[in-house]
Amino acid sequence: MKYFITFYFILVIIAVSILGFRGDLTENTPLEVFPDMDRQAKYKSQTQNKFFGDRQSSRLPVDGTALRGNALEMNDVFSVSPTIHSVEFRTGKDADGEWVDVIHSDINIDMSLVRLGKEKYDIHCAVCHGDFGNGLGVISKFGVAPRNLSDASNAGTYLESAGRWTEGQIFHAISMGSASGIMLGLQDRLTFKERWAIVLYVRALQNYVSDATIALKDEGGS
């Protein structure tokens, strides 16, 4: 019994110590559980740093850093006079607000652009739309029905069943996402050129799937 009373008394003291003075003002230095989090050993932007030859704390991203935020090319992000592309190149619309129907002339269309489009499509698009753009990506196995971009034989899910999409519309969808909000925009992850490259690759997928479908029908009929 003696030990129980002693334990109970200590418990009351602890409870009062912790809860009884909550909200009281004090000028004492606050308790710092992790002082290194309150006073971090870091340099703030625009301050000097003697470690580097130019004495600047703010550094350029290392080679290979993934571009995020705005959609400038990496060489232009920190440029004094960055390249400002045309409205068509940046938005997929012309000066009159109409969708452009060709890939913009600011881009040199060649096989390297197709390969770039495939690379970025495989990273950002294939998981939903499938490797061949037919909407049979990984997430289609979990009750989600991504848009079919390439297989015109499946009219119920085909992107262009209700009419052809222009290059500008596809570019806009890649940039801003779908109207339903299910697909998020990629403008903070891909440069203008990379988005136009995906547009080109989607057209290549459409041609490939269309040719493959015709070939299969011919084989079935023969």
> Going by C-beta distance under 8 Å and a sequence separation of 6 or more, which residues neighbour residue 135?
128, 129, 145, 146, 147, 148, 149, 151, 154, 157
Q: Where exactly are the structural domains of the chain? A: 87-221
Helices (H), 125-164: 126-129
Q: Which band of pLDDT confidence, cut at 50, 70 and 90, is reported for residue 74?
A: low
Query: pLDDT per residue over 127-144, tens digit each?
Result: 988 898 888 888 888 877
Structure confidence at residue 183 (pLDDT) = 86
- pTM, full prediction: 0.61
Judged against a pLDDT cut of 90, whether residue 119 lies above it is answered with yes
Say which amino acid occupies 199: V
Picking from 64-68, 99-103, 136-140, 211-215, which range would have the lowest pLDDT averaged per residue?
211-215
What is the CATH class of 87-221?
Answer: mainly alpha
Q: Select the more confidently predicted residue: 210 or 193.
A: 193
pLDDT in the model for residue 218 = 54
Q: Report the percent of the chain where pLDDT is more than 90.
A: 16
Residue type, 124: H
Copy the structure tokens of residue 74.
């990496």
Q: Can you tell me the distance from the alpha carbon of 35 to that of 134, in angstroms, rounded to the nearest whole number? A: 55
Q: Which residue has the higher pLDDT, 176 or 221?
A: 176
Exposure string (b/e) for 182-218, b if CB count within 10 Å is 16 or more? Answer: ebeebbebbbbbbbbbbbbbbbbbbeebeeeeeeeee
Of 51-60, 73-82, 101-110, 154-163, the poorest mean pLDDT is in: 73-82
What is the rounded CA–CA span in Å between residue 20 and residue 184? 50
